[in-house]
Every structure is written in C-alpha cells, then in structure tokens.
Structure 1
Amino acid sequence: MVTGTNSKKKLLDSKRKLIAKYDPKSPISEQYRTIRTNILYSSVDEEIRSLMVTSSGPGEGKSTTTGNLAVVFAQQGKTVLLIDADLRKPTVHYTFKLTNTTGLTSVLTNQIDIKEAVNKTDEENLFVLPSGPIPPNPSELLGSKAMHNFMEQALEEFDLIIFDTPPVLAVTDAQILGNLCQGSILVVSSGKTEKDALIKTKELLTSTNGKLLGVVLNNKKIDKKGSYYYYGTN
C-alpha cells in the first residue's frame, strides 16, 4: 500500500516538474516557449547548440527550468540531449524516472559509450543522460580532455545539448561548463535570491568567458493559480 502511494507521489511530482510535457497549454508552459524563442534569437550570427542552466544557490528551480526547456525544444522538432552535469547532487534521473547506475561520469571514464548511456524518453526527440555514479573529482572531470571530446561527439549526434549544472556560488563546476557552452541561463527565485549573490554569480560566469544569455525569474506570483516565469536578456 505504501509502495503504491509512493509511486503515485513520484508520478505527480514528475508531472508537476515537467509541466511543459504534461500540461502544454498552461500559461507556465507558454512562458517556457517564450524563453525558448528568446534563446533562439539571442544570437543572430550562430545557431545556439549548447546551453547550460544554473543558479546562484540551491532550491531556486534550475533543474525544473532545465527539464522544461529541454521539453519545449524537443517539441519544436530538435533532437535534444539533456545532461545532468550536477555530479554532486544529481536530480534529473528522478524527474525522468530513470536509474543512475550509468551516465555522464561513466562515459567520461570510458566505461560505456555515449550511445549506450543515453536514455530515450517518451517525449519525442528528447534524450537524457543522467550524471552517473558520483565521482571524487567532479570539477577535474568536467574540465578534462575527455569532456571536450564528449562535447564534440554529442554535437554530432544531437541538435541541442542542455546541461543542468550545480549552483555557481557552491562550486566551480558551472564556470567550467560555461566555457564549453555557447550560452548560459541563470535561474533566479523571486524573493529568495539575494542581490549580492546574483551580482557575484554574474561576475563569476562572465569572468571565465562564459556568455550569459539571460535570466529566468522563477516563482514570481501573479495570482492564486500559479507562478509566473520571466526571461530577461543580459
């Protein structure tokens, strides 16, 4: 009985987090599509094919934002690879109800091929690569030559790669990935993210030649029905 209750709760949590998939006509899903459009138009000279989504600190909604952006890009017809690059506290496998026995760390350490590690989801065109087993040296692994080689191979297989990364102020992982990606999206939680933390986060992202495409304001209440998501260019 308890098992059934837990399964239902996990399904409801998944549907709540992936609103763009389970309720595509909702106002929030429309906001994610607006973010998608702004990302596409953020660079007129080159097509955006690699993105990372991060935040200043934990609990600001970056993983939910990452998942929904991956969904709306896939719904547009692009083949999308969502990668859980939070090698310390991964959550993407929970959202998509996957196991995390193999993943990004397994590929980077040559234990498995990328094609074997990637999971096809029930959302057409959307593929997910979990973090894999948590390594003792996340930053070194993300900054390795193996990571550069992985990016080259992934870009040959998919139209768009989206990384879910750890918070910027917690560890250096997001800054490392910022150098690999064409752009970064910063998720800010309304009423939670402090101004000083936001300024420091922007400085860290831009100091390593990372391109900050814009900011998503999360959890901004407009009425009793839900939340409002806003995307602003840098």
Structure 2
Amino acid sequence: MALKTKNRKKNQLEQRARKLVVHASPKSHVSEQFRTVRTNINFSVPDKDLKTLLFTSSQPGEGKSTASANLAILFAQDGNRVLLVDGDMRKPTVHYTFHMTNTLGLSNVLTRQENPGEVIREAEITPNLHVMTSGPIPPNPAELLGSQTMDQFIEDMTARYDMVIFDAPPVLSVTDAQILANRVDGTIFVINTGETEKESAEKAKELLGSSKARVLGAIMNNFKLGKDHHYYHYYGEGE
C-alpha cells in the first residue's frame, strides 16, 4: 500500500512538471516557445497597459489551462506581480496544476462569503505569482461571472496586481468565457491543431466577437512544423 501511494505521488509530480514546463524545463524548446508567446502578448497592446488577460478555447482538452499557467509563471518571472484566477467554475483544474486544495476560491468571493485576501495563495514555485482557485462549484457560474461583484473584483485585483490572468471555460460549452472576455483587456484563443474542427474554431471566434472580446491572437497547440523542424508539441495533454 505504501509503495502504491509513493508511486501515485510520483506520477502526480511528474504530471505537474509536464504541465508547468517553463518551471521544470526552462531551457527546453517548448519553454522558448512560451517565451515567444509572452513577448507577442507584450507587443500586442502597445497603446495601453495590459492588466487583465483571458485564456479560452472552443472545446475542452485544447491546452488553454496549461497555457495560462505557464504564461502566468513567465510574466511573474519577468518581475510582474501576477494573479492567476481559475475562472472555470464548472470543471476547474488550476488547483490540480499547482497542487492546491480547492475548498475556497473565486466562487466564495463572488457569493460574498469570503474576501479575496482570504482565498488567494502564493505559488511556491516562483516569486510574484499568486493563485486563486475556483472554489466550490456553484449552481450559477454564468450569473456570478456577470455580476457587479465580479466587476468590483476585477477592479480591486487590477489595483493590487500588475496582471490578472483568467483561465476560462471553453467558448462552445457555456457562455462563461464570453461573459469574462467582455470584461478583460485581451483574450488568447487556444487551438489544438489536428483535433479542433475548423467550424468549431470559427464559431467560437464568432461568439467572442459578438461579446466584443478583444482577441489578441491564437496559440496553435500540437502544431507540426515541416520536415526540417522538430515536432512542435506545445503543452501535452490537459485542458
């Protein structure tokens, strides 16, 4: 029994390291690509400060949660005070990625059960990075995200942090991402190349446009370059 427990913990740590590649393998090709994404994001809004950023996809399993976590680490390593918020109050994953409990989080703040300061935690893997998990799954995520309490939360957090990054649900699954995208400075759309149907990506982009989201660009996950290049495996499995 002790051996099984030890192996299970080892597998969990290995899975966590694979997702947080910029921390586990900072000199890897994938980490360099994430740094390129960070640079592109910095240059995407030259006329104003980019304070709030959202990551989403058309459907589950495309890599948006892993992308948001790795970019949050990189922005923190760049000297920014960063808050990563799990805005997916339906199928949250951020607490798994950072090996945290999820008893308190965003849902508690939006229902006014807790103050943000009571549920925000420091990420142990790098300075300047703080994390807010989703909290208990509520019966009405969309209503909470569209509330005045959410607007006040964003205003308060942008006053405390240099950047607030939201990991949002997929666009085609629920309306949550559209609601959030309307409230942030920029949205990054993650596409799993070879898996995502063109029609799904176009429909998701259309929905983001209808919500007046400012889409800064797209990340092509699992994109295979030409035969003279290495296979481009952006993050691996995950949401």
Name the TM-score, length of structure 1 as normaliser: 0.95
Answer yes or no: is 1:151 the counterpart of 2:154: yes
Q: Any idea what SS the aligned residue of 1:169 has?
A: coil
Match of 1:199 in 2: 202
Cα distance in 2 for partners of 1:155, 1:65 equals: 21
Match of 2:232 in 1: 227
List structure 1 runs of 4+ shifted beyond 2 angstroms: 221-229
Cα distance in 2 for partners of 1:17, 1:225 equals: 20
> Per-residue deviation at 1:228?
4.4
Match of 1:125 in 2: 128
Q: Any idea what SS the aligned residue of 1:60 has?
A: coil
* Structure 1: runs of 5 or more not aligned: 230-234
Q: 1:36 aligns with which of 35, 38, 47?
A: 38
| Residues 44-102 of structure 1 deviation map (CA, whole Å, 9 limit, x = unaligned) | 11011100000000111111111111011111010110000000000000000000000
- Relative to its length, the structure with more strand (as a share) is 1
Cα distance in 1 for partners of 2:123, 2:31 equals: 19
Match of 1:75 in 2: 77
Match of 2:54 in 1: 52
> Per-residue deviation at 1:225?
6.8
| Residues 121-169 of structure 1 deviation map (CA, whole Å, 9 limit, x = unaligned) | 1211111100000000000000001100100111111100000010000
Cα distance in 1 for partners of 2:114, 2:63 equals: 30
Cα distance in 2 for partners of 1:88, 1:65 equals: 19
Q: Any idea what SS the aligned residue of 2:95 has?
A: helix
Counterparts in 2 of 1:38-187, with a 5 A limit?
A: 38-122=40-124, 123-187=126-190
Answer yes or no: is 1:25 the counterpart of 2:33: no
The answer to whether the 8 Å contact 1:40/1:47 transfers is no
> Per-residue deviation at 1:115?
1.1
> Per-residue deviation at 1:197?
0.6
Match of 1:232 in 2: none
> Per-residue deviation at 1:221?
3.4
Name the TM-score, length of structure 2 as normaliser: 0.93
Q: Identity, % of aligned pairs?
A: 51
Letter in 1 for 2:36: T
Cα distance in 1 for partners of 2:202, 2:115 equals: 39
